[in-house]
Each structure stands twice: as structure tokens, then as C-alpha cells.
Amino acid sequence: MSSNVAPKRSKLTTFSWALWDWAEQPYPTLMQTFIFPVYLTSAVASGIKNADQQLGWATAIAGVLLALIAPVLGRRSDETGRRKFWLLINTGILIAITAASFFVEPKPEYFLFGLVLYGLGSVIQESAFINYYAMLKGVTTEKNIGRVSGYAWGLGYVGGIILLLICLVGFYLPEDHHFWFGLSKEGSMNIRTIFLFAAGWMLIFTIPLLIWVPEIAKKSGAKKESIIASYAGLWDQLKTLRQQAPETFKFLISSAVYRDGLAGVFTFGAVLGTLAFKFEPTQIIIYGIAANVVAAIGAAIGGRLDDIFGSRAVILGSLIGLISSAVALFLLRDMGQADYWIFGLLLTLFVGPAQASSRTFVARFTPHGREGEVFGLYQTTGRAISFLSGSMWALSIGIANAISGGTNNTIYGIWGIVLILIVGAFLLSRVHPRPAVLEN
């Protein structure tokens, strides 16, 4: 009878881990892409020039902060056996930041406060990912790791669809402003309450991971390490990883570049639709629902293809699709909103597979027992240059403004993202698709 119990528990553990993608989905969907940054750069920043550029610089600063702390977080969780503990701590902080966004009123004097919350939330979310990704190998097998990673990402997108539908029906569309809970548009209460709802969602759906995903064991003989010592050990980490898993090391470098381009697609996508293609807030929500449907399909298909063709093939194919779609989006901009509907949705189709297969590649080809450490490096290398997407976005717009003498050239920010994706794809093509890994 005991032989029948273990598999059930294993499936429950895997599902509970995957459900965290659903649990944290309010942050990337509502807080990073479709609602909070749009609210911040329009209602809050009313009368403030170049709000889109300032959002880019806030993103760049957040990336620098994460690059400074990520190597310590991953290394220490491996040694002390506290991956789940730190994931839950970061989730709690992210919930608090999301709830605090309620207090960003639609007044210019709250714009800086909003930018700080936006940047800080990005740092905390990416910190949480270090330990979440490091758990992937422990809740899957070699045969299903790609599928589980892709389905978990797809599950997150499904959560995003439901979230956006709730926002649309309850807080945007009701006639005569009869919003849920008797809310009104005064002080943007209908929008700000969404942030409280998002925090509640994250809290409730994190509970299964808390209960059913086990903590890893503490390494035998592990010594307590100071923060300074953790930083000092970073160079040794990189040297030993290069010896044990040289292709994984090369992948960390290449993925650092293209993942920053992927982050740029998410960060500036809704702002692009609002400022460049003149979408109304309600249109952006409807677009977001469609985008999440397409992205969920892409992530699920990509997960299946990953187990068949390998992670690198899926990522390269996705990057080519992203570059082509972004270039078409710019060149066919005279089509107006139809252009954004067609090629913007194509962008979302390829983003999910690229992200899911990236974490799968690292989990597959990381020496056993170094998952947290390597995923810490994964986040570090990614965020060490994460100023690129924000900076290139802002610089591309700034150059266009300088040349044209205008101030509404948001569409030119696309070229900064495209350049990053091209460089990342080239570097990834130099990585072996199925590298050998030496165990400790």
C-alpha cells in the first residue's frame, strides 16, 4: 500500500510547486505590465514629461540592486537548506509591496513613490525566483522536467487571464460606474483596489506550497557563512562552475542578455500599447486577456517541444520569432491598433517558451546540490546587465526625440529591445544543446 502513496504525494508536491506560478501571477500581469505601470505613467504622472523614460530608468536601477544580492541568496539557501523558507519570505514582502501600491494616488507627487514600489517589487520578485527555480529539479524527473516547467508557466498565464477578466468585469466596465464593493472612480479607487485584490490572491494561493512542498535538507558539515564571505565566494563559484559545467556557464552569459530583452517585452508592452497605439485602459485589459491566452498556449507547446528537441532549440526558435514580430510591429505601425493586435500577440506567443525553457536548461545541466547557487548566478548574470532593457528603451526613445524634435516616439523603444534579443540569440547559438555535467 505504501508504494501507492508515494506517487500521489509526488504529484501533489509537483502541482503545489507549479501553483506558485499561478499565485505570483498578479505581480507580472497586473503590477508589472497591464495595470500598475499604465496607471503610473498616465493617471499618476499626468503632466510629467517623459514618464515612459523614467519607468525605464527605474527598471535599470532595480536590476543593479538585484545583481548585488542574488549571488548571496542562492548560495546561502543551498548551504542552510532553506530554499522554501526564503521563497515564502520574499513572497510575503512582495504581497506587502503590492498592497502598498493602493496608497499611490493619481497625483504627480505620488509618481516617485510609485516608481520606488515598482522597482523594489521587481527586485523582490526576481529574488523569489532564485529559490523557486532551484526547486524545479526536486519536484520533477528527467523525463518530465521540461513539460512540468512549461505547464507551470502556462498555469501562470491562465491565472493572468482570470485576473484580467475579474479586473475588467469588476473594476473597469460596469455601467454608471457601479463597480464591485460600491467603489467609484474618485481618486481612482476602482483601480487602486485591484492592488489589494492582487495581494490577497497571492497570499491564498501560496498556501499549497507552504503545506505540501518539502524543504531541502541542510548540507552536512555546512558552516555558517557571513554575507561578506558569501560575496567573497562568488568568484570561486564561477571558477568551479566553469570547470564542472562549462556549457552551463556559457549559457548563463548568453541568457543574461536575451532574458533582459524578454523582461523588456513585459515591462514596456502595455506602456507601448497605451502611449504609441493609443489604447484606452479597458482596451489594454482586453488585450492583456488575449495576450495571456496566447502566451499560455505558447508555454504549454514549448514545454512539450522542450522534452523532444531540447531547451536550446526551443529558446532559439522563440528568440527568432520575437525578433521578427518586433521588427514587423515597428515597420507596420501605420496599420494602427491592428498592428499591435497582430504582432504584439505574436510577441507573447514566443515569450513563454523562451522563459520556461531557460529555467529548464539550467535545472537540467546544473551539478546536483548546486541548484540554488547556480540559479542565484542565473539571476545575478541576468540582472548584472538588466540595466540594458531599461536603458536601451529610454535611449532609443531619447534619440528619436532628439532627431525628430518631438516627444511622442515611444514606438522607437522597440529597437532597443530588438538589439538585445539579437545579441542574446547569437551568444546562445554558441552554447552546446546537451552539455555534459561533472558531478561533485
CA dist., res. 263 & res. 54, Å (int): 16
pLDDT confidence of residue 118? 93
Within a domain: residue 345? yes
Within a domain: residue 224? no
Tell me whether residue 182 is exposed, middle or buried, using C-beta atoms within 10 angstroms of its C-beta: 0 to 12, 13 to 18, 19 or more. exposed
Within a domain: residue 216? no
Within a domain: residue 92? yes
pLDDT confidence of residue 383? 61
pLDDT confidence of residue 9? 46
Q: What is the DSSP string of 82-112?
A: -HHHHHHHHHHHHHHHHHHGGG--SSGGGHH
Within a domain: residue 155? yes
Within a domain: residue 218? no
Nearest residue to 30 via CA among 191, 141, 241: 191
pLDDT confidence of residue 374? 76
pLDDT tens digits, the chain, 440 residues: what are they?
334 433 444 789 999 999 999 999 999 889 988 899 889 988 898 878 778 778 878 877 887 787 777 666 666 666 666 889 989 999 999 999 999 999 999 999 999 999 999 999 988 998 898 889 888 878 888 778 878 887 887 888 889 889 989 998 888 877 666 788 788 888 999 999 999 999 999 999 999 999 999 887 766 665 666 667 767 776 777 777 777 778 878 888 898 889 888 888 877 777 788 888 888 888 888 888 888 888 888 888 888 898 889 889 999 999 999 999 999 999 998 898 999 999 999 998 998 899 888 888 888 777 776 777 777 777 667 666 766 777 888 888 888 888 887 666 888 889 999 999 999 999 999 988 887 665 55
Q: Which residues touch 438 (CB under 8 Å, ≥6 apart)?
A: 243, 244, 245, 367
Q: What is the pTM of this model?
A: 0.74
Alpha-carbon dihedral angle through residues 118, 120, 122, 126, given to the nearest 10 degrees: -170
CA dist., res. 410 & res. 329, Å (int): 13
CA dist., res. 371 & res. 409, Å (int): 43
At 44, which CATH number? 1.20.1250.20
CA dist., res. 168 & res. 180, Å (int): 11
Taking each helix axis from N to C terminus, what angle separates 51-80 and 83-100, rounded to the nearest 10 degrees?
160
pLDDT confidence of residue 225? 65
C-alpha cell at 363: 535545472
CA dist., res. 168 & res. 199, Å (int): 17
Tell me whether residue 406 is exposed, middle or buried, using C-beta atoms within 10 angstroms of its C-beta: 0 to 12, 13 to 18, 19 or more. exposed
Whether the CB-CB separation of 188 and 106 falls below 8 Å is answered with yes
Tell me whether residue 92 is exposed, middle or buried, using C-beta atoms within 10 angstroms of its C-beta: 0 to 12, 13 to 18, 19 or more. middle
CA dist., res. 408 & res. 3, Å (int): 64
CB 10: neighbour CB atoms within 10 A? 13
Nearest residue to 139 via CA among 152, 130, 120: 152
Q: Which domain holds residue 179?
A: 10-210+234-428
Q: What is the DSSP string of 298-330?
A: HHHHHHHHHHHH-HHHHHHHHHHHHHHHHHHHH
- State phi, psi for 204 to the nearest 5 degrees: -65, -45
Within a domain: residue 191? yes
How many structural domains does the chain have?
1
Distance of CA 270 to the CA centre of its chain: 15
CA dist., res. 218 & res. 82, Å (int): 8
Residues 124-142 as b/e (b if ≥16 CB within 10 A, e otherwise) read bbbbbbbbbbbbbbebbee
